[in-house]
Amino acid sequence: MTSVISTPEIPLPPTQDELPCDDGIPMETQRHKLQMDLLLDTLQFWLDQREHGYIGGNMFIYFSTEQARNQDFRGPDFFAVLGVPKTERKSWVVWEEGKAPNVVIELLSESTKQEDKTRKKQVYQNQMRVPEYFWYDPFNPEDWAGFALEKSEYQPLEKDEKQRYISEQLGLALVQWQGSYKGVETVWLRWETLEGELLPTERELREQAETKAQQAETKAQQAETKAEKLANKLKELGINPDEV
């Protein structure tokens, strides 16, 4: 008689549908929320021109089952991932997606800056292997730094001649911009092309489209006025404009 040896089933890691996606903790301030929105708002236009990619903000990232069991939540203020499908996520689960983010940005506050500069930085470097990490304090623009992963360790990035940090991963620059966003005037962190053109917000895109439409209408009116003047001149000379 042949005996059947049963092997224990190895439990599968949890999916994003089974993992918590909300810890009930709100953002620090209105400005922090707006700064996160601005980074996402402007990069969405850039992402729309590409076939693949994902951006998220204040969303949990799970990088190990141990972290999930310990409920050691990690929710960067901003992250971008290249080469992945454009589908909705409840959270970013590294073992489901097959990769960690390419870029992470944390927005500093009095209650989080120590952890953002130490423990979180170590997690992004050693456990998630995020190629580029930046931090920025919306209330203190001088507290701004960038790091790139080289030989398993973060090395500080140097600003370029325009005082920008270059993201080699995205092929874009991070720049400080003085202006108003959703009614708040301050120094904001924004995305810019390497050529120096700011990536527009949704509102700026609408305004640009309206300006172009108005310019086209003005050109059409000028052309019509010019044609009328020419027709009148021909009539004065006894020439039928329709025969010209």
List the CATH number of the domain containing 159: 3.90.1570.20
Helix, coil or strand: residue 107: strand
Asked if residue 213 and residue 115 are part of one domain, the reply reads no
Strand arrangement, sheet containing 184-192: 165-167, 172-181, 184-192
Determine the Cα–Cα distance for residues 130 and 99; give it in Å rounded to an integer. Answer: 9
Determine the Cα–Cα distance for residues 202 and 209; give it in Å rounded to an integer. Answer: 11
Query: How many structural domains are present in the chain?
Result: 2
Q: How many other C-beta atoms lie within 10 A of the C-beta of residue 203?
A: 11
Phi, psi of 159 (to 5 degrees): -70, 150
Asked if residue 126 and residue 237 are part of one domain, the reply reads no
Asked if residue 208 and residue 139 are part of one domain, the reply reads no
Per-position b or e across 83-113, b if 16+ CB within 10 A of its CB: ebeeeebebbbbeebeebbbbbbbbbbeebb
Determine the Cα–Cα distance for residues 20 and 158; give it in Å rounded to an integer. Answer: 37
Q: What is the pLDDT of residues 42-80, one digit of tens each?
A: 999 899 999 999 999 988 899 887 766 656 656 899 999
Q: How many other C-beta atoms lie within 10 A of the C-beta of residue 22?
A: 12
Q: What is the pLDDT along the chain (244 residues), one digit of tens a residue?
A: 555 455 556 667 777 665 554 444 545 799 999 999 999 999 998 999 999 999 999 888 998 877 666 566 568 999 999 999 999 999 999 999 999 999 999 999 998 999 999 999 999 999 999 999 999 999 999 999 999 999 999 999 999 999 999 999 999 999 999 999 999 999 999 999 999 999 999 888 878 666 666 666 667 667 776 877 877 777 777 777 676 6
Question: How far lies 83's CA from each of 52, 86, 99, 232, 243, in Å?
Answer: 5, 9, 10, 62, 61
Asked if residue 113 and residue 185 are part of one domain, the reply reads yes
Tokens of 193: 């092309």
Determine the Cα–Cα distance for residues 46 and 199; give it in Å rounded to an integer. Answer: 7
- What is the domain range of residue 218? 201-243
In this structure, is residue 238 part of a structural domain? yes
Contact 36, 57 (CB under 8 A): yes
Contacts within 8 Å (CB) and 24+ apart, 97-102: 100/61, 100/63, 100/128, 100/129, 100/130, 101/61, 101/76, 101/128, 101/130, 102/130, 102/131, 102/132, 102/169, 102/170
Asked if residue 162 and residue 69 are part of one domain, the reply reads yes
Asked if residue 159 and residue 43 are part of one domain, the reply reads yes
